[in-house]
């Protein structure tokens, strides 16, 4: 009888836990990193279009630069990375760029449980990726 009562209590608790409402998960998701190898001449600039990112920043700064920055295009909001080596620098440099993209989600019905028939609000999810740019500056 004691075991039957314990099972009833456990089943009751599980029913409430499994039917609880939860908010959308909008925690950042780390996407795989990629690497780009670039060869430029001394005093030559380099620019990389970062695609549809909604935000971009230098995560790890280059060591031998005159200019090393992410910039937003004021016309369309896209981001790019710009690099100009230090004056007359030759050798290897490296920078890591972090980009964040918003992945919109649609409203999801929360009727997994009979007691919840309303629709939850749509919340976007965010994904962050890292691009390492290996720069070789040579004549």
**Does the reported pTM lie above 0.85?**
no
Which sequence spans correspond to the domains of the chain? 42-102+124-139
User: In degrees to the nearest 10, what's the CA dihedral of 46, 52, 53, 56?
Assistant: 20
CATH for the stretch 42-102+124-139: 2.60.40
Q: What is d(CA 124, CA 9) in angstroms, rounded to the nearest whole number? A: 37
User: In degrees to the nearest 10, what's the CA dihedral of 52, 69, 39, 45?
Assistant: 110
**What is the Cβ-side half-sphere exposure of residue 137, based on CA atoms within 13 angstroms?**
22
pLDDT tens per residue across span 80-118: 999 999 999 999 999 999 999 887 765 555 555 555 555
Q: What is d(CA 89, CA 95) in angstroms, rounded to the nearest whole number? A: 16
What is the DSSP-derived secondary structure letter of residue 43?
Answer: T
pLDDT tens per residue across span 52-78: 889 999 999 999 999 999 999 988 889
């Amino acid at each position: 009888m004691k075991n039957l009562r314990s099972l009833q209590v456990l089943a009751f608790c599980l029913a409430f836990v499994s039917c609880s409402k939860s908010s959308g998960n909008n925690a950042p998701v780390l996407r795989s990193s990629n690497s780009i190898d670039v060869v430029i001449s001394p005093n030559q600039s380099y620019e990389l279009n970062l695609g549809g990112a909604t935000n971009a920043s230098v995560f790890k700064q280059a060591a031998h630069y005159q200019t090393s920055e992410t910039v937003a295009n004021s016309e369309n909001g896209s981001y790019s990375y710009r690099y100009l080596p230090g004056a007359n620098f030759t050798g290897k440099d490296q920078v890591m760029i972090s980009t964040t993209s918003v992945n919109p989600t649609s409203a999801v019905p929360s009727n997994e449980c009979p007691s919840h028939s309303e629709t939850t609000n749509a919340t976007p999810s965010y994904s962050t990726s890292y691009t390492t740019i290996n720069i070789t500056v040579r004549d």
